[in-house]
Amino acid sequence: MSLKETFEAAVASSKQLSARPDNDTLLRLYSLYKQATEGDAPDEGPSNPFDFVGKAKHDAWSKLNGITGDDAMNQYVALVESLKKG
């Protein structure tokens, strides 16, 4: 299976986890997914100063700037696999 196929399978698996991950893990999954699929985060975050969730997501994604899509996919797959093992 190619990396992209493995990544897509991990994305599907992440929606079927037996327990909901904590917020930090969810942010990590989100940021790795965005880095893998869209590349570096835009410089500007959400324009609404009260969009705390959007800001947290943007900040988490921004921390991954410079990581290649393939590396982000590999990290995403590894994180989902560790969550599946519990």
CATH code of the domain in which 74 resides: 1.20.80.10
pTM of the full predicted structure?
A: 0.94
Q: Which of 22, 85, 30 is nearest to 59 (CA)?
A: 30
- pLDDT at residue 86 in the model: 76
Residue 32 pLDDT greater than 80, yes or no: yes
User: 35-83 pLDDT, tens per residue?
Assistant: 999 999 999 999 999 999 999 999 999 999 999 999 999 999 999 999 9
DSSP string, 16-82: T-SSPPPHHHHHHHHHHHHHHHH-SPPS---S-TT-HHHHHHHHHHHTTTT--HHHHHHHHHHHHHH
Residue 34 lies in domain: 3-85
Q: Specify the number of domains making up the chain.
A: 1
Q: pLDDT at residue 2 above 80?
A: yes
